Amino acid sequence: MPEGDTIFRAARAMNRALAGKKVTRFESVLPKLTRVNEDKGLVGRTIESVTASGKWNLIRFSGDLILLTHMRMNGSWHLYRPGERWQRPRSDMRIIIETVDLVAVGFNVPVAEFHSEQSLRRKPELRQLGEDLLSEDFDAQAALEKLKTQADQEIGTALLDQRVMAGIGNVYKSEICFACKVSPFALVHSLNENQVRSVVETAYKFLKANVREASDGIATYAGFRRTTRHRNPAERLWVYGRRGLPCRTCGTKIESKKHALDARVTFWCPKCQPISR
């Protein structure tokens, strides 16, 4: 599933490419979008901005019309020149937004809705979002207090709750817990103040580092999420996807198991991250 940094980078690239340009063509295989296009007409509208909010992508058009999308597990936005060959098959196309010189194609987008600013404010999933880790006005203290309200949740589960902090997905969940030397299965109330603060600060550091265009700390490259300082692509993550391999810190074999109700796989080092309840 695309995490907050992926959505942020996609929105930034789309905003740079499309903002200020007029729509010359709009096409969708999604009936709800097609009906709005027929009723209100996208062609001729100006694309005002493309922004991210947590794992949501918002494309604002002139005339108070907003396309809200969520990628879930497999969705993505691509940018092409007119006539350029797509990297995905036509059958995966869900949305096309074309301007004179660029085409934005949404592939396998599972959630796509048109909104006005008013209806967007009523959208429960957006209203309930916690502190957005990639927002310019991210409030670490507010995020810390929100995280502490999840006292009886496992920290790994709480980190995935977008109502606590927006933008963290399954990769970051495991990486943040490892970096903080916290078991992903520890209950939030079992962590002390410094540990909870470290979790919030590390989440912010990791996501921000992976959207910088020139990193001055954690090494980052376009398309390769990193949480270590290693420049070797094979060493870019601490624990995620490394079941059975030696911990980069202590050499103990990394373990993994399906975790919580959605059964996403969690990775951890049993020595570096001892459980305490």
**Which positions are annotated as active-site residues?**
2-3, 55, 264
Angle at 127 between CA 202 and CA 212, to 5 degrees: 35
In whole angstroms, give the CA distance from residue 149 to residue 153: 9
In whole angstroms, give the CA distance from residue 16 to residue 102: 11
Phi, psi of 75 (to 5 degrees): -75, 160
- Per 3-state DSSP, the chain is made up of helix, strand and coil in percentages (nearest 5) of 30, 25, 45
Going by DSSP bridges, is the β-strand pair 65-70/56-61 parallel, antiparallel, or unpaired? antiparallel
Distance of CA 227 to the CA centre of its chain: 15
Q: Which residues lie across from 104 on neighbouring strands?
A: 79, 97
Amino acid at 223: G
DSSP classification of residue 151:
T
In whole angstroms, give the CA distance from residue 101 to residue 15: 14
Phi, psi of 149 (to 5 degrees): -70, -15
20 φ/ψ sector (left φ>0, alpha ψ -120 to 50, else beta): left
| Cβ(144)–Cβ(200) below 8 Å | yes
